[in-house]
Structure 1
Amino acid sequence: MNDFDFFIGSWTVTNRRLGTLLAGSDDWTEFPGTSTCWSLFEGRGNVDEITFPTLGSHGCTLRLFDVEREEWSLYWASSRDGLLQPPVTGAFKDGRGDFYGDDTYEGTPIKVHYAWTGTTTGSPRWEQAFSTDGGRTWESNWVMEFARA
C-alpha cells in the first residue's frame, strides 16, 4: 500500500520529452520542473503537483491504491487543458512500478505505459511510452529524473 512513500516531499525535476510523438522522431527537448508530493489515506493515496516554469504550465497526478485488487490507479491532469486523463493501473515489483492504460493521441487509440524505476536510490525516474499496436512495440516519449529539493 505504501509503494509511493519514496516520492513524498519536494523535488527538482529534469524533463526530457520527445518533440513529435508517434512519428519516429529523435528530437528530444529538455526542460526543468519542480514537484511536491503529499500522502493521502495513510499511504494508500497521494497527490503531486509539478511546475514547468519554462513552459508556463503545471501538472497534477492523483494516485490511489485499490485495496481489494492490490493495484494503483494513476490519474494525470494538466493546466494546459484542465482535463483528467484516463487512468493507468498497475503495481510495484522488486522496486519497479509498471502501469498501463488505454487512451487516444490526436484521435489515434493508444496504449500508455508509465514506469517508475530507481525508487530505492533517492533518484527516482519516471518514463512514459505509447503504443499504437496494442503493446507489441513502445515509443518512449517523456522521461523525468528526480532529485531531492
Structure 2
Amino acid sequence: MQPMNDFDFLAGHWTVANRWRTDFLDADSDWEEFPAVTHGTRHFDGAASFDEIDFPTKGFAGLTLRLYDPERAQWSLYWASRRTGTLFPPVTGRFEDGRGEFHGEDSHDGKPVRVRFVWSGITEDSARWEQYFSTDGGENWLLNWTMDFSRAA
C-alpha cells in the first residue's frame, strides 16, 4: 500500500470499545470502559481520511481529519470535539511496518503535554488506537486511552 492510503482501512462503519483513565495524567487512576460508533470515509484518492465518532453514553462526539503531505511523507491528524467546536493541535507522523505513530504538542487541564497516538493491529475487520501523554517532554509516556475497533456488520 502506498503511504497516502495508510488510513483506507478506516472507511466504513465501526463499533469501538473505549478504555480511558479517569485522570489522563495520573498513572494510578482507574480505567473506565464505554462504547462508541464511528463512520470513516476516504478522500483525495486516499490522501485524506475523515471520520465522525459518537460516544453515546458520554454525551459527546468528535471528528478526525487526516491529511497526507507527500513532500514530507507524513500525515497530519486533526481532532475536533462537538463540545468545543474547535480543532485541537495536530499530531504528525507516519506508518512503518503496519504501525502508525504520531506526535504533537497540546495541553490537558491547563498543563502542557506531548501527545503520542499509535495505530496498530490493523486488519480488514479490526484496529487499535492508543493515546499517550508526556508531561516531561517525552522522557516518560502514560497510556491514557485505548480504542479497539471492530468492523460493524
TM over 0.5: yes
Q: Distance in 2 between matches of 1:33 and 1:82?
A: 19
**What TM-score does the superposition give when structure 2 sets the normalisation length?**
0.94
Contact between 1:131 and 1:139, CA under 8 Å: does it hold in 2?
yes
Q: Between the two proteins, what is the percent identity of the paired residues?
A: 55
Which runs of 5 or more residues in structure 1 are unaligned?
Answer: none
Is the 8 Å Cα contact of residues 13 and 32 (structure 1) preserved in structure 2?
yes
Q: RMSD across aligned C-alpha pairs, in angstroms? A: 1.0
Contact 2:9/2:124, CA 8 A, preserved across alignment: no
1:121 to partner: Cα distance:
5.8
Matched, 1:72 2:66: no
Please list every run of at least 4 consecutive aligned residues from structure 1 whose deviation after the TM superposition is greater than 2 angstroms: 23-26
Shift of the alpha carbon at 1:34?
Answer: 0.3
* Aligned match of 1:84: 87
Instruction: Report the Cα offset of residue 47 of structure 1.
Output: 0.5
Distance 2:129 2:26 in 1: 22
Determine whether 1:52 maps to 2:48.
no
- What letter is aligned with 1:68? E
Does residue 1:126 correspond to 2:105, yes or no?
A: no
Q: TM-score, normalised by structure 1?
A: 0.96
Aligned length: 149
Letter matched to residue 59 of structure 2? G
Report if aligned partners of 2:104, 2:116 keep a CA contact under 8 Å in 1. Answer: yes
Take 1:56 and 1:141, find their aligned partners in 2: how far apart are those partners?
20
Q: CA–CA distance in 1 between the matches of 2:69 and 2:57? A: 36
Shift in Å, 1:120: 3.1
Distance apart, 1:26 and its partner CA: 3.3
